């Protein structure tokens, strides 16, 4: 078995890294949505960290939707970036994997 097949190639590793980053980003945004909807204690360090990270990750779409219903506004303002990061990250990873094949 050649070394290339045993350890994979550079594009496989790069694609995996892109996928992991996209997934972690979406998890952080999704976790904030759940914490917000369950009215998590914002004085808690973990909740505070997740809120700050989610706000930074969703900065480009923050207040994109201005519904009167706060939970719906939060769901859309953080859910849309999560979906965009997932779709873009996985599409980019698929494109990277095709480079070597």
DSSP one-letter code for 68: S
Least confident range of 2-6, 10-14, 58-62, 76-80: 2-6
Q: What is the pTM of this model?
A: 0.85
pLDDT value of position 1: 47
**Any residues with CB less than 8 A from the CB of 45 and at least 6 apart, and which?**
none
61-100 residue pLDDT tens = 888 888 899 999 999 999 999 999 999 999 999 999 988 6
Domain ranges of the chain: 3-100
The pLDDT > 70 percentage for the chain reads 89
Residue with tokens 């496989």, as numbered in its chain: 12
């Amino acid at each position: 078995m050649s070394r290339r097949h045993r350890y994979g190639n550079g594009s496989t590793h790069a694609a995996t890294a892109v996928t992991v980053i996209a997934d972690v980003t979406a998890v952080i945004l999704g976790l904030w949505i759940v914490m917000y909807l369950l009215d998590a204690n914002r004085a808690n360090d973990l909740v505070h960290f997740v809120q700050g990270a989610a706000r930074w990750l969703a900065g480009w779409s923050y207040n994109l939707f201005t519904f009167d219903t706060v939970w719906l506004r939060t769901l859309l303002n953080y859910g849309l970036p999560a979906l965009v990061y997932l779709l873009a990250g996985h599409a980019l990873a698929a494109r990277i994997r095709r480079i070597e094949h």
